[in-house]
Amino acid sequence: MYRRNFVLEADLEIKGSLTCYFSSSDSGGVLHRYCCTQCGTPLAVKPEAFDGLKAIKASSLDDKAWVQPTMDIFVESKQPWIELPELTEKYEGLSPGS
């Protein structure tokens, strides 16, 4: 399991070159998937539905100390062996009411 952390695009600095692939989300929206052009490591996802935000993998960060999860989404599809932090908001789908 990995976490994606949504950050403001304006505050995000990614060093190095990226390539972008497009795919569909579960809701039918478009996802922009950014990967390192050197090794192919997935680094970020930009859902078109979330204007101004990108989701980055915490494992790709040089400094992970600032990452503090505040919510878990799509918990309906969570595997039974995954334990979620007690203090996060939890949503069955993408967000409240989805």
Tens-digit pLDDT profile for residues 50-66 = 888 888 887 788 887 88
CA proximity to 68, closest of 77, 76, 58: 58
Task: Please report, for the chain, the start and end positions of each structural domain, with discontinuous segments joined by +.
Answer: 1-60, 68-98
For the entire predicted model, the pTM comes to 0.70
Per-residue pLDDT of the chain in tens (98 residues, 90 and over written 9): 446 678 888 888 888 899 999 998 877 889 999 999 999 988 899 988 888 888 888 778 888 788 788 888 888 888 999 898 888 888 887 665 55
Give the phi and the psi of residue 47 in degrees, each rounded to 5.
Answer: -75, 130
3-state secondary structure of 11: helix
Give CA–CA dist 44/56, Å, rounded: 4
Residue tagged 């989805």 (tokens): 98
Q: What is the pLDDT of residue 97?
A: 52
